[in-house]
Amino acid sequence: MAGERVLVAKVGLDGHDRGVKVVARILRDAGYEVIYTGLFQTPDTVAAAAVDEDVDAIGLSMLSGAHMTLAPLVVEKVRGRGADIPVVVGGIVPNRDVHELESAGVAKILTPGATADEVVEAIRSAIHPDESED
């Protein structure tokens, strides 16, 4: 974890930022360097910041219902910049959307009620997918 960097972002018009700030603190307290881009980001600005900041993972907070459009666009924009940075989505994601998001390249999905340990584990396993949890 030491030296690993995570960018957390709010994409689209979702103005609820309490949860993403809690997640940023959880990750910071777990030893990650966290970059928070703030509210109302676009997939392009998230991808640009992630590549420019050389992050190891991206965490998107999605509460607006636009996860099926915006999360895959972030993955696409990151890959379009030649990077393979895992994207973790947290927020209001119905079970019926999980498979499609994973098929679109989203590494992990966290839903409401996820614990701090689950948040850290989602990021850790997204960054290190070949390491099994023992």
**Residue 28 CA: distances (Å) to CA of 80, 94, 108:** 28, 28, 19
Give the whole-number percent of the chain exceeding pLDDT 90.
88
The band of 131, judged by pLDDT with boundaries at 50, 70 and 90, is confident
Residue 3's pLDDT band (cuts 50, 70, 90): confident
pLDDT in tens, 87-97: 999 999 999 99
Q: Could you report the per-residue pLDDT of 28-77, keeping only the tens digit for each?
A: 999 999 999 999 999 999 999 999 999 999 999 999 899 999 999 999 99
Structure tokens at 120: 């850290």
Residue 56's alpha-carbon distances to 91, 101, 115, in angstroms, are: 20, 20, 21
pLDDT at 134 over 60: no
Q: For 14-23, 85-94, 98-107, which range has the lowest pLDDT when averaged over its residues?
A: 14-23
Tell me the C-alpha distance between 45 and 33, whole Å: 19
Tokens read off for 124: 């850790």
**40 within 8 A of 83, measured Cβ to Cβ:** no
Query: What pLDDT shows up at residue 16?
Result: 87
- Mean pLDDT throughout 110-133? 93
CA distance 78 to 80: 5
d(CA 102, CA 109): 8
What Rg do the C-alpha atoms of the chain give, in angstroms? 13
Classify residue 86 as exposed, middle or buried by CB count within 10 Å of its CB (0-12, 13-18, 19+). buried
